[in-house]
A and B are shown apart, each in its own frame.
Chain A
């Protein structure tokens, strides 16, 4: 027996537990092959848990679907779907061919289920563009006992093709243009909503135990044989399925569909509210070192006994323990101003808390005010002014987190003149070799290319704010040849639709090589100039100016780029296309509060078209971001072709969400509907707003709970 157990043996026999008051929840809704809460192909009126984000992969012969579903509120969910499917050729009888369909769904639950009243929801599939799955529904679901849920619904569009009858809504809604595959998608398809024939659907789901469930549905979709329609032969309206949940957040499904097909599916659910690492597993910070009462009153300190240089070196060593790089220090009798780079903590508030506690270890007692200036890309981002007495007084005290935020000052960073800069310790050159993975949605035929390979990166910091950086990629699975070519929009420069041709020769290519300079041209102003091969398809010069006061939720930016299209071999040339363009945007940023953030960009895009992009992000304080954007430009619909207005969704998940270890890294991806050459923006690295906002008050406040962590 280990000695420890003997030491505590009288305690160890106790078997008390900490009970959490939350009552046990019923099993959550399962996902359908459409990736939303539902039966097999039909929806139910259920909702996923609030904020849940689920990816569902579903496959049956000739029809593969990937759906991302986000439960934006208790009742509203949004989905993005990418389907790779067989469609009937045009004319319809001739045969089948492969096609791509992307679309968005909306689902809104009108009420909570009552004792007798079922939950009722209304929803639309493919509601933005008239894709082959476009359909609307009203559906009611009622649970009976512990495991049974009964669903009955009424569908329109693709959900009204089996056993349809005259539209009960009547009054001029009888006619629906219906899906026309020859009509390029991308037009807002509101004209068809809830029009045309309607049909009933329904089904039951029975949860046998915590893991196994069974489903039976009567489908109102029979996928009629029309040009560009889904080429699935439906022999029976009845579909059957089994679900298996091996662990929370994972659902696997096996189904028998359409009277003839086996279908499989897998859903993977993550919820920003369920952080695997809890409040984080990083090491404990050093406690505040409290000054003796008599020393606290001192008005100055003896610089003979404690020279500035010794303090600088010692503080540099202490901050290094937290992976904070001290770049500058100014010491007066009563104030210490530090400038540092946060290399470790996602939360700048946590980095500030760590830096402040380190300062209490060695700063002379007369120093009462700490000014913490966060630096990124060689420029100071903000200043937090903290009273040392408050640090001593509020450490580990209930209410201390809020109190230290209230008593601290937030403002623009001070000038660099009085700061004594520290010499660089590390080499200005850094490099890395690692794998890369990318999704290229810009191919001419609308399919998604995935690419996997090795990336060699190098960074040379000529000065802290002047950086030469580059990356060379070696693809291991070069993108497919682009059989349809890039000439879907012959009158428009193929600024994006040729993307699939870029770097597909199987040899190493230059992804980017650029020189970037950051500056602070004035109070609340930030500047960036980038020069070189800025992205895969364009090179040139990019300039940006941002006005963003530290305490304001509002920011304004201006970006102007003069760029030319690179050769598709991704070497150094610009001759292949002989295309150059001046592009740029005026951008407004606004933090709406409550986790919502919006950005409006107005200007000229890469193909020379003028227009605007609006994006809205749902930002969780723990670093998750789920966003959507839409772009509309003056490019004519005929020219624009597919995707006449660009739209997409993006998701960012911070690394520390999974690991619990402090990290500034994150995983992110953007998923677009079919992207044409209109509304395309230069993809330049290091845009200012993303660089500076983390150090500003709104973002600091979002994670201020980590100050004392």
Chain B
């Protein structure tokens, strides 16, 4: 009898423990979570509307399409998720452009260098990378970067990174069955709490056509092909 009482008592304890981590109550009230499709929502607008704001991200782009329409797609491999996706442009602001993929993750570039992401586990909220751009243009050098992250406390934290960019010589890369001559640059950056190495393949026109760029310790690196 005592054992039974002890068990009941313990069961109540277990339930109490669950209450610490379980929901107090839930229901179906207010449930809604529509998938974002900006383009469709703009259709309601009259003639004055500019519905070109953001086409729905394409989900099944073939290699032929990528090759046929240079400048239209960016291929991205998110290493931490082991996920390839094709991004299409969703906006531009000055010398920056934003590209979104089929999972609604977006990346913003300035001259091929990532300045922001949205939708990764630890986004790069904003960045100033102009000195890195300049260093690549001049064949290498020193640069300072400013990166901003969103903390677990919903605050912005800033990393001031000191970077050294160096050319590693010519490298021929092959993609879509064509060979391209590039110069490979390595950028080593460090702050008090962060360290990473980015790699850029720059074509003869000075355009970054392939890169490996760090986002944050949690989001890892993105491998990016621009066409």
Interface residues of A (CB under 8 A from B): 2-4, 7-8, 10-12, 14, 16, 18-22, 55, 57, 59, 61-62, 64, 66, 68, 82, 84, 98, 266, 268, 272-275, 277-290, 302, 305-307, 310-311, 313-314, 317-318, 320-323, 343-344, 347, 361-362, 364, 392, 395-402, 430-439, 448, 450, 452, 455, 457, 459, 620-622, 651, 660, 665, 667-669, 702-706, 708-709
Contacts and interface: CB of A to CB of B under 8 A. Distances in A.
Interface in B73-95: 75, 77, 84, 90-94
B153 A286 contact: no
Contacts of A318: 38, 41-42
A7 B44 contact: no
Given A7-B176, A311-B45, A435 B13 contact: no
B77 A8 contact: yes
Interface string B94-125: 10101010001110100000011011111101
Interface size class of B (residues with CB under 8 A): 35 or more
B153 A362 contact: no
Which of B24, B96, B174, B225 has the most chain A CB within a 10 Å cutoff?
B24
A286 B45 contact: no
Contacts of A430: 29-30
A568 B13 CA distance: 26
A248 to B, nearest CB: 15
B27 A432 contact: yes
Interface stretch (B134-142, B162-170, B195-203): B195-203
A283 B102 CA distance: 10
Contacts of B17: 55, 57, 66, 266, 268
B152 interface: yes
A84 B9 contact: yes
A282 B104 CA distance: 9
28 contacts: A7-B63, A10-B171, A10-B174, A18-B196, A18-B216, A57-B13, A64-B10, A84-B9, A277-B121, A278-B122, A281-B120, A284-B119, A286-B91, A287-B54, A310-B48, A317-B42, A398-B158, A431-B29, A437-B22, A437-B24, A438-B24, A459-B29, A620-B153, A621-B154, A665-B26, A667-B24, A706-B150, A709-B118
Contacts of A266: 17
Contacts of B123: 279, 709
Contacts of A362: 42, 45, 49-50
Given A286-B54, A361-B53, A438-B24, A84 B91 contact: no
Contact of A10 (B9, B92, B127, B173): B173
B144 to A, nearest CB: 11
Nearest to B38: A286
B205 interface: no
Contacts of A320: 34, 41
Contacts of A436: 24-25
Given A621-B154, A622-B152, A287 B106 contact: yes
Contact of B154 (A306, A457, A706): A706
Which of A286, A401, A402 has the most chain B CB within a 10 Å cutoff?
A286
B70 interface: no
Nearest to B145: A398
Interface in B5-41: 6, 9-10, 12-34, 36-38, 41
Contact of B210 (A11, A62, A432): A11
A18 B158 CA distance: 16
A392 B225 contact: no
Contacts of B90: 286-287
Which of B38, B93, B120, B154 has the most chain A CB within a 10 Å cutoff?
B154
A533 B60 CA distance: 56
B156 A361 contact: no
A281 B94 contact: no
Given A2-B84, A7-B75, A289-B91, 4 more contacts: A278-B219, A290-B91, A395-B93, A400-B126
A517 to B, nearest CB: 20
Contacts of A669: 19-20, 24
Nearest to B17: A57
A396 B120 CA distance: 15
Contact of A278 (B33, B152, B192): B152
B96 A321 contact: no
Given A14-B199, A310-B46, A57 B152 contact: no
